[in-house]
Chains A and B, each alone.
Chain A
Amino acid sequence: MAKTWVGRVRSWMAKNMDLPQDVMMDLPRITMIGQIHIYIENHRGLLSFSDKELRLLLKQGQLLIKGKSFVIKTILPEEILLEGKIDQVIYINENSGGTK
């Protein structure tokens, strides 16, 4: 994870200074309310959207959400609120070979 020197410092700071990881390391913060709502902060853009699948670009890798009858309730540059029936939330890492 911490490939660079900056990354190593950030990781150390987060661990030892009790700072939230998402702020320090630019990670997505995902909030789910049961199966019906998912709220993702800190994404890097929409890759694909259909009523069964939502694919988001992250700083590192992608996030894939699968389910049924999806509706994007709100979309802002770094936030998205999705409504529907969520079945799976999957992280896809670039090197492990994503579908796209």
Chain B
Amino acid sequence: MKNQWIIFLYGRVTVKISGRGIERLLNVLTRNGIDIWNVKRHGADTITLKIKLADVMKIRHLARKSGCRISFLERSGAPFLLKRMVKNSGFLIGAAMFIVIVFLLSNVIWGIEIKGAKPATEYQIRQELDKMGVKIGKFQFSVDNAEGIQRKLSNNVNQLTWVGVELKGTTYHLQVVEKNEPKQPKKLKPRNLVAKKKAVIVRMDIDDGQKKVDVHDYVEPGQLLVSGEIGQEGEETKLVAAKGEVWGETWYKSHVELPIKTTFHSYNGKEKRKYYILIGGLKIPVWGFGKHGFKEYKTEKNVHKLHFLKWELPLSYMDKTIREQEALIRTYTNKEAEKKALELAKKNIKKLVAEDAIIKDEKILHKVIKNGKVILDIHFKMIENIAVGKPITKEIHE
């Protein structure tokens, strides 16, 4: 007998033979090269045996001559199984569809939760997300991944200091920190106002407290500007929180260097997109074949993890965008370079001081052009609020 499993693949049939001279027929069958097994006797003139599906036509032909009657009882094996499977293919298709649907639904965005934002900001974030295509019902792999969303959101929504985007299952959780969080009005303790920089006072707007210096006075850092002790001399004094703004003229020196020639890289709009499916470390290209042929280029990769229900599959979907770059050389004339350097210096200065400070005057102290660079030393006169609060402690009072 041959291997069970090979016969299973071919398919087997149980044959019932009845009549006289069954043994003679068996001899004839074996001599004609038909594999027979599991021969069993049932009563006086009936036996059952098993043969291969392929031998069915032969056995019919041989049995006709012998005068025995044959009938086929049971069919089993792969060919019949296949037939049944085709017949019941609805179930199979249904099962496959189910898995596909569950897989697709596992990769759909089902929720966007925004925490820590004011309603107005939340609305703005939602609009920005809509613009990016991050909407409920969209596929996760059709939008940027969490880092990309995070980057774009913090670039495009000005009110945000920081936004954390996290994909948990099918929901995007956005944790937002706004720039101007609603401040709690805090009760100020008694304090003085002192100077934080050396300056010449230009203007004083005092709400509370007693002035100790005057306009045009020169003050040193730490010098008392407005005292929190009020009351006539000799009388009992009262402690208050000195409040107000003292505007002083301050001075800054700035040193800037600006190259006259600068090389820039800019995209020229040509790009090639490639799509891959990642299985473990294996990258299978799905769409976008061939070489890009760009001389200078930048590649942007975007990997989306695929999910099945709550599990992360070892599969991910990656799209790669290759953008061609062109190098641009920008050359300034000396005058232009000087202007740009000055702008740069102003920008640098602005970073050092509070937002409400104003540049009153600037003076170029020193100007050199050497090694393809413009080097400037500039003196700035600024008007800014120099008052800072300093709490009055008991020791000072006594």
Contacts and interface: CB of A to CB of B under 8 A. Distances in A.
Given A70-B41, A74-B1, A77-B30, A47 B36 contact: no
Interface residues of B, number: 16
Given A49-B23, A49-B47, A71 B38 contact: yes
A70 B37 CA distance: 12
Contacts of B41: 49-51, 70
A81 B40 CA distance: 13
A40 interface: no
Interface in A58-100: 70-77, 81
Contacts of A50: 41
A76 B26 CA distance: 10
Contact of A72 (B27, B31, B35, B38): B38
B39 A71 contact: yes
Given A47-B23, A49-B47, A73 B30 contact: no
A46 B26 contact: yes
Contacts of A71: 38-40
A70 B40 CA distance: 7
B31 A73 contact: no
A36 to B, nearest CB: 15
A77 B39 contact: no
Contact of B39 (A45, A48, A72): A72
Nearest to B23: A46
B40 A75 contact: no
A72 B31 CA distance: 16
Given A47-B23, A49-B23, A77 B31 contact: yes
Contacts of B23: 46-49
B26 A49 contact: yes
Contact of B37 (A45, A46, A48, A73): A73
A76 B36 CA distance: 8
Interface of A: 45-51, 70-77, 81
Interface of B: 1, 22-23, 26-27, 30-31, 35-41, 47, 49
The 5 closest A-B pairs by CB, nearest first: A72-B39, A45-B27, A74-B1, A46-B23, A51-B41
